Amino acid sequence: MKKEKLEQSIPDAEFQKENEHQIEFDLTTTKKLIERDLDHAIEKPHRVEFNVIMIVFEGKGMHTVDFVPYSYRKGTVFFIAKDQVHNFTINPDADAYLLPFTDTFLSRLIVNEELKVLYEMFDYVLYPAKIQLDEKIYEDVLKLLQVLEKEFSIEMDNFKELILTPLLQAMILKLSRERLTQSLPLEQKDKALYRKFKQRSFNHNYSVHVNDYAKELDVSSKTLTNLLNKYLGKSTKKYLDEHLILQIKRLLLDESLTIENIADQLCFDEPTNMVKFFKRYEGLTPTEFKKLHKV
């Protein structure tokens, strides 16, 4: 998980492993990560270009995902999706397994229709960033991790990926079951509309409104809001506003962008309108946010 240094304040973490295995999956721990020769401080915000599962097995502390701090203890599991921003709070008494892997590797795990549920695992809109495993489930996951760790340490050969794949499928399915059951699962009849809306709203900007999305999706605004209320407990407008705030936060950490640049990129009429919009939701100005999260 070595980072490529970029000319901006928020590093983009590219997928890179300690070893030379060809598979786009790694298994390490937070303590081992701290010891690596990285070109940035992991306690500062950085954006990942891959997916990460973090499973705490020792100690307590705090971990921040998309600027929201979460407490953790033994048995806490974090799901960090590609393009999310996170940072560690260094605690020498805490440790966790880190399982980073690319979208390509995840696709290789999905060998039949039933396993497509794994695509939902990193939906940070629909599901919480963390879950807490009960003791029995935690012990089962830990056993799988220990077998994975042992197999992963073996020199690469023709059998390695064949052995790792079902082990990973079993562990990720077990974690997915826990995560996906902690929220209302998407009903089959709602999946297509939800996915289309999520895809279209991913790069949402201030000039696009609820009616625009409804028209594009050929549904009423009420149908769209009913869908989001059902699964997210919020209106379409509230979801879009929150998503826009998150986009602003991520862009604010890029030192190459001014407030004016960000406002223009997100289609605000005037930078002052973006400042007012941001302050209304966050209680502080974009400039104050930048100072608070300076990297």
- Co-location of 121 and 17 in the same domain: yes
Which tens digits make up the pLDDT trace of 59-71?
Answer: 999 999 999 999 9
Is residue 77 within 8 Å of residue 137, measured between CB atoms? no
Other Cβ atoms closer than 10 A to 48: 21
Q: Residue 248's closest CA among 273, 272, 274?
A: 274
- Co-location of 232 and 287 in the same domain: yes
Return the pLDDT at 4: 34
Question: CB neighbours of 11 closer than 8 A, spacing ≥ 6?
Answer: 3, 4, 5, 39, 40, 44, 46, 47, 295
Is residue 74 within 8 Å of residue 96, measured between CB atoms? no
Is residue 98 within 8 Å of residue 50, measured between CB atoms? no
CA distance 285 to 168: 44
CA distance 116 to 106: 10
Match 């960090």 to its residue by tokens: 80
Is residue 57 within 8 Å of residue 23, measured between CB atoms? no
- Co-location of 174 and 195 in the same domain: no
Half-sphere exposure of 289 (CA within 13 A, CB side): 22
- Both tokens of 88, joined, read 């560690």
- Co-location of 84 and 228 in the same domain: no
269 phi/psi in degrees, rounded to 5:
-60, -40
Least confident of 24-33, 138-147, 172-181: 172-181
Domain assignment present for 4? no
- pLDDT bracket for residue 13 (50, 70, 90): low
Name the residue range of residue 241's domain. Answer: 188-292
Burial readout 157-196 (b: 16 or more C-beta within 10 A, e: otherwise)? eeebbeebbeebeebbbebbebbbeeeeebeeeeeebbee
Round the average pLDDT of the chain to a whole number and report it.
87
Structurally, the chain folds into a number of domains equal to 2
Residue where a domain terminates, one of 180, 208, 237? 180
Is residue 134 within 8 Å of residue 71, measured between CB atoms? no
Whether the per-residue pLDDT at 5 is higher than 60: the answer is no
Q: Which CATH number does the domain housing residue 74 bear?
A: 2.60.120.280
- Co-location of 31 and 156 in the same domain: yes
Return the pLDDT at 19: 52
pLDDT, average across residues 229-246: 95
pLDDT, average across residues 158-173: 85
Residue where a domain terminates, one of 180, 202, 229? 180
Whether the per-residue pLDDT at 6 is higher than 50: the answer is no
Which tens digits make up the pLDDT trace of 112-126?
Answer: 777 777 778 888 888
pLDDT, average across residues 79-90: 92
Task: Give the DSSP letter of residue 25.
Answer: B
- Both tokens of 183, joined, read 């929220």
The one-letter code for the residue type at 170 is A
pLDDT, average across residues 146-153: 89
Return the pLDDT at 200: 92
Least confident of 142-151, 161-170, 268-277: 161-170
Return the pLDDT at 139: 95
- Co-location of 50 and 159 in the same domain: yes
Return the pLDDT at 181: 78
